[in-house]
Amino acid sequence: MRRIHHFTLGLLLLLSPVSTACWASTPQLEALLEPLSLGERAKVDNTQIISAKLLSRVYQVRHYQALWEDKDYAGTMLDVIKRADEEGLAKEDYHYPKLVELYQQLSASNWQDEYKSSIFEVLLSDGIITYAIHLLNGKVNPSMLGKTWNYDEAHLDFDTTLKQLEEHIKAHTVAEAINGLAPKITPYHQLKQYLAHYKDLAARYPFTTIPYTEVIKPGTTSPSIKGIAARLKEQGYLDANATVQDATLVANAPLLYDNILEAAIRQFQADHSLKADGVIGAGTMAALNVPYAQRVEQIRINLERARWLSANLSANYLIVNLAGYELLLFKDNNLSWRTDIIIGKIDSKTPLFKSKLKYVVVNPTWTVPNSISTEIINHQRKDPDYLHKKHFKVVESSGTPVDASGIDWHSMTRKNFPYWFVQEPGADNSLGLVKFIFPNQYSIYLHDTPSKNLFDKTDRAFSHGCIRVKDPLVLADKLLSANANWSSETLNNKLAEGKTENLFLDEPLDILIMYWTATIKNGKIKFYNDVYTRDPVLIEALNRPTYEGVLADDGLLNTLD
């Protein structure tokens, strides 16, 4: 597990006493907790403690006085933990079943059993602490899922936390404080609503696979139409009373794919990152046949990805959603503008990381990375005039030009080629007219492209790793418009000069390269293909019980100690 030390002071304050009254006696708590501090065991009543050392320190400081003396208030804490399911987390990770059992038993006995009261005390504190961590930073440690991850974790300031939490404890509003740890970004709360919706669908409708044998086009008939119409009605794409068949046809006969159903299919395709052409092919049928329980898991992991952002969002920022092939510009925490992008191919995936976008290069040159120089060499072998046509120069590492006609191209390979290819500025430059620089160790940047036709594709993983932008000049103008004395005319003039120039942003902008396979677009959920196959490992990690993470101690799950 990943142990997060910088939360300790803030969560100690969360558990600060309201009074010295307690349910459990000092000896009982001390007997339960002292072995934890010695590392002798990390279980209480056969239940694994997640933050054993921290709990031990908390109660040592308090001389083993109980924290949760108001049983009605403790009941509200159980309600808070129960609502973890609504966040895409699992209440079982926070001792919920055991706490409910103990609470019922203790309530029935008027809290006379001091030993059980002590167990309840410890498990409730441990559950609240762990839940708070997972809401704030996510349950899964993202750095264990990818080496490029460099996002910050959320921190709690001691002085601020002290004042706020003392007020919350006195007012019995710790529940609100805990709930306030969840991400503030709007898509998170909308995804929560869709999580509840798809859970409801999974509970209401037994899921069966719709048979599919061939492409179904509008105006044709197919035995699959009945199942397709039913599925679309369940999901709200078709009105419950919509008719999509000739009334004279019997139930098991082929049904007509009419214009009512076609309109619903087109909307379904648009919401599931499919070409919205109304043709029901293998891709559309595959999306229709995704079980609701699987959609629930897909939404849960994207809520988790949103939690990873909590400490990384300022008022203004760029989010690059690789799975959605989209770039999102936020101003004052609201989506201001979006455009389509092209990302790295499967064998040259664009990495996930954050940086600061510092400047825009107009009329850029392109120095071909050594890793893809083979492509240029092969083109030159086939066409001796290729370099001239594409405005490439061959240069030494010092930048000194080399006469390309004197090179034996048939003997050149990537390994023995001692030079560099540099493409001069121009409309046919592979980087287009502008590129956007945010320092990183992977040589990744945003850029224009002359290959605009690729943006017509639904799936757009075509690059060698860098990110191509559909509307780069609009993006450049929006980024630079915050600069003093900037105008759109300035950009046009710079481009017309044809000279390579760096235009720095007065205020560098946070850029966050993320991967969301379910998000919100125009107020509705949109599902994307898992192009880089990142979802399964995250689903597995998110569903791993936290107590297993404690025992494994492999850093995959976030805990506090």
DSSP 158-172: HHHHHHHHHHHHHTT
CB 505 within 8 A of CB 483: yes
The residues, ordered by sequence, that sit 6+ positions from 350 with a Cβ below 8 Å of its Cβ are: 322, 343, 344, 444, 463, 465, 466, 467, 513
On the question of pLDDT at 249 being above 50, the answer is no
**And the tokens for 244?**
């999509």
Lowest-confidence range among 148-157, 178-187, 269-278, 520-529?
148-157
On the question of pLDDT at 19 being above 70, the answer is no
Q: What is the chain's mean pLDDT, rounded?
A: 88
**And the tokens for 55?**
């709990």
The reported pLDDT for the residue numbered 13 is 45
> How far apart are the C-alpha atoms of 235 and 241, rounded to whole Å?
14
Strands 434-437 and 354-362, bridge-based pairing: antiparallel
What residues pair up with 23 in beta bridges, in sequence order? Answer: none
The reported pLDDT for the residue numbered 246 is 47
CB 16 within 8 A of CB 166: yes
Q: Let me know if the fold of 221-290 is the same as that of 314-521.
A: no
The CB-side HSE value for 335 (13 A sphere, CA atoms) comes to: 15
What tens digit of pLDDT does each residue of 405-462 get? 999 999 999 899 999 999 999 988 999 999 999 999 999 999 999 999 999 999 999 9
On the question of pLDDT at 248 being above 50, the answer is no
Looking at domain 221-290, does it have CATH number 3.40.50?
no
554 vs 335, more confident: 335
On the question of pLDDT at 387 being above 90, the answer is yes
Query: Looking at residues 476-495, what average pLDDT do you find?
Result: 93
> How far apart are the C-alpha atoms of 478 and 349, rounded to whole Å?
27
Query: Looking at residues 317-335, what average pLDDT do you find?
Result: 95
Highest mean pLDDT (candidates 146-150, 151-155, 245-249, 310-314): 146-150
The residues, ordered by sequence, that sit 6+ positions from 478 with a Cβ below 8 Å of its Cβ are: 329, 336, 337
> How far apart are the C-alpha atoms of 552 and 549, rounded to whole Å?
5
On the question of pLDDT at 561 being above 80, the answer is no
Query: Looking at residues 463-480, what average pLDDT do you find?
Result: 97
The reported pLDDT for the residue numbered 2 is 60
178 vs 209, more confident: 209
Confidence of residue 244 (pLDDT cuts 50, 70, 90): low
- Reference 157, options 7, 380, 270; nearest CA is 7
- Reference 541, options 530, 555, 556, 531; nearest CA is 556
Query: Looking at residues 342-348, what average pLDDT do you find?
Result: 97
Rg (CA), the chain: 29
> How far apart are the C-alpha atoms of 437 and 494, rounded to whole Å?
17
What tens digit of pLDDT does each residue of 111-142 get? 999 999 999 999 998 998 899 889 999 999 99
Query: Looking at residues 231-239, what average pLDDT do you find?
Result: 94
- Reference 469, options 450, 446, 451; nearest CA is 446
Confidence of residue 247 (pLDDT cuts 50, 70, 90): very low
The residues, ordered by sequence, that sit 6+ positions from 76 with a Cβ below 8 Å of its Cβ are: 172, 175
Three-state secondary structure call for residue 538: helix
The reported pLDDT for the residue numbered 241 is 74
The reported pLDDT for the residue numbered 170 is 66
Query: Looking at residues 501-526, what average pLDDT do you find?
Result: 96
Strands 446-447 and 467-469, bridge-based pairing: parallel
> How far apart are the C-alpha atoms of 349 and 347, rounded to whole Å?
6
Q: From the CB of residue 293, how many other CB atoms can be counted at a distance below 10 Å?
A: 14
> How far apart are the C-alpha atoms of 290 and 276, rounded to whole Å?
18
Percentage of the chain beyond pLDDT 90 is 68
The reported pLDDT for the residue numbered 557 is 83
- CA atoms 487, 489, 492, 494: torsion sign: negative
> How far apart are the C-alpha atoms of 375 and 30, rounded to whole Å?
70
The reported pLDDT for the residue numbered 3 is 53
Domain residue spans of the chain: 2-182+543-559, 221-290, 314-521
**22 catalytic, yes or no?**
no
**466 catalytic, yes or no?**
yes
The region, left, alpha or beta by phi > 0 then psi within -120 to 50, assigned to residue 82 is alpha
What residues pair up with 334 in beta bridges, in sequence order? Answer: 331
For domain 314-521, the CATH class is mainly beta
> How far apart are the C-alpha atoms of 289 and 117, rounded to whole Å?
49
> How far apart are the C-alpha atoms of 384 and 207, rounded to whole Å?
60
Query: Looking at residues 553-558, what average pLDDT do you find?
Result: 82
Amino acid present at 218: P
The CB-side HSE value for 169 (13 A sphere, CA atoms) comes to: 18
Q: Which of 95, 168, 272, 447 is catalytic?
A: 447
On the question of pLDDT at 14 being above 60, the answer is no
CB 153 within 8 A of CB 311: yes
Q: What is the DSSP string of 177-193?
A: HHHTTS--SHHHHHHHH
What tens digit of pLDDT does each residue of 53-80 get? 778 877 887 788 888 888 888 888 999 9
The reported pLDDT for the residue numbered 109 is 94
159 vs 140, more confident: 140
**pTM to 2 decimal places:** 0.90
CB 309 within 8 A of CB 188: no
Distances (CA, A) of 180 to 80, 169, 311: 12, 14, 14
**Angle at the Cα of 516 (from 449 to 476), degrees rounded to 5?**
35
CB 500 within 8 A of CB 363: yes
> How far apart are the C-alpha atoms of 29 and 35, rounded to whole Å?
11
The reported pLDDT for the residue numbered 68 is 84
